[in-house]
Structure 1
């Protein structure tokens, strides 16, 4: 391989490497913007990127402390708000019909990952069903989590969608987190081992994050291209000489 071909190959590698690092596409920390030092206020607008967060099936929500009960992973202590959801279904009714929904375009990204922090109250549903959509309307079960303690944060829930066709580079991707019956039953289990499930139990969300790897077609910074072009030109002059 001559020097020109070697340099061209190196530039291709640089191009791919420039887009190889995972990046946050959209994130919700639910904190007030601007900060107001009040955890009882907040916003449902993303703190990074764009997308929509909404309630599903009649669930209601307020904002409450993300520092309480050990706290979420949000570094903004003192102004850390969480999205506190309640009004879940009655015992034995509405399996996987109530919770929260997040819609995020993944255009330009693959290897999509989702993560979130979630505080279970004592009487909340122990089980969280994560579903996804690739068309914005049809939902598919994917991951089931257990929150086997009350008044406790379960930080860093992580869901890897990289193996699911259609999730990457999709303007209509979304996921939702829903209260689910205990497996192989027709009833909700309470998060507290000694508690009783109730529709007024709460799930408090924080640091809901969608991340991915930029597709390799993303161009490298201009300075790298200028350096490569200059070097190729220099090699060309030397070859003529």
Structure 2
């Protein structure tokens, strides 16, 4: 019995990755475009412009703590789901992809946002929506879990983006600040944009798992 349990333990050990790893991360401390970890790119969407700004209040422990600040969003009643920022990275060799980020909105920025993704590098698909917190401080550790979307796995053209959207069921933007009015001068900052994923098991690993499983089954039959 003890030997059989030890063999089973070894099978479990080789079949499950230890934990998700960071595929790519942007901390914006030294560059507005290049990742601080891994390989990837970003693109501003819908006429938005960017600049470097303080990341104070985000989860970034680095120094200097900078973030990317975006501005020049669409006029009221126009361009819902078109303006924001997109990130791209190669997920070849990875599965169970997820994204985390920190964000900060000015009072006159849009309260409502959408997360979209692409599997071909150009066609955007709706994923989820979310809201700011009504203040001008960072709201951190936001997440989007793409693990249920198999097309995101092992994909050289994977990308995701954050875009401002109209209020649910409405025809216009609502300001982040409850006493403010939405305006094109409103800004959104991002920091610590991170893609995490599990490594796809190598075929040799899967073969070892299958062989070990067969060995356990054969041992059981001999003892029965």
Give the shorter-chain TM-score range: 0.7 to 0.9
Matched, 1:177 2:175: no
Matching residue of 1:112: 97
Matching residue of 1:56: 45
Matched, 1:65 2:54: yes
Q: Deviations over 1:130-184 (max 9, x none)?
A: 0001111111111101013131211111011111120111111110000100010
SS of structure 2 residue aligned to 1:14: helix
Measure how far apart 1:107 and its partner are. Answer: 1.0
Whole-Å separation in 2 of the counterparts to 1:212 and 1:97: 27
Count of residue correspondences: 206
SS of structure 2 residue aligned to 1:211: strand
* Residues 105, 138 of structure 2: 8 Å contact kept: yes
1:182 to 1:192, Cα distance in 2 relative to 1, 3 A:
same
Matching residue of 2:119: 134
Measure how far apart 1:9 and its partner are. Answer: 6.2
Measure how far apart 1:15 and its partner are. Answer: 2.5
Matched, 1:201 2:186: yes
Query: Which 4+ residue blocks in structure 1 deviate beyond 4 angstroms?
Result: 4-12
SS of structure 1 residue aligned to 2:90: coil
Measure how far apart 1:13 and its partner are. Answer: 3.5
Matching residue of 1:14: 13
* Residues 133, 139 of structure 2: 8 Å contact kept: no
Structure 2 spans left out of the alignment, 5+ residues: 209-224
* Residues 20, 215 of structure 1: 8 Å contact kept: no
Q: 2:88 aligns with which of 81, 100, 103?
A: 103
**TM-score normalized with structure 1 length:** 0.79
Whole-Å separation in 2 of the counterparts to 1:30 and 1:44: 7
Structure 1 spans left out of the alignment, 5+ residues: 33-41, 226-241
**TM-score normalized with structure 2 length:** 0.85
Whole-Å separation in 1 of the counterparts to 2:94 and 2:146: 12
Matching residue of 1:148: 133
Q: 1:74 aligns with which of 60, 69, 83?
A: 60
Matching residue of 2:34: 45
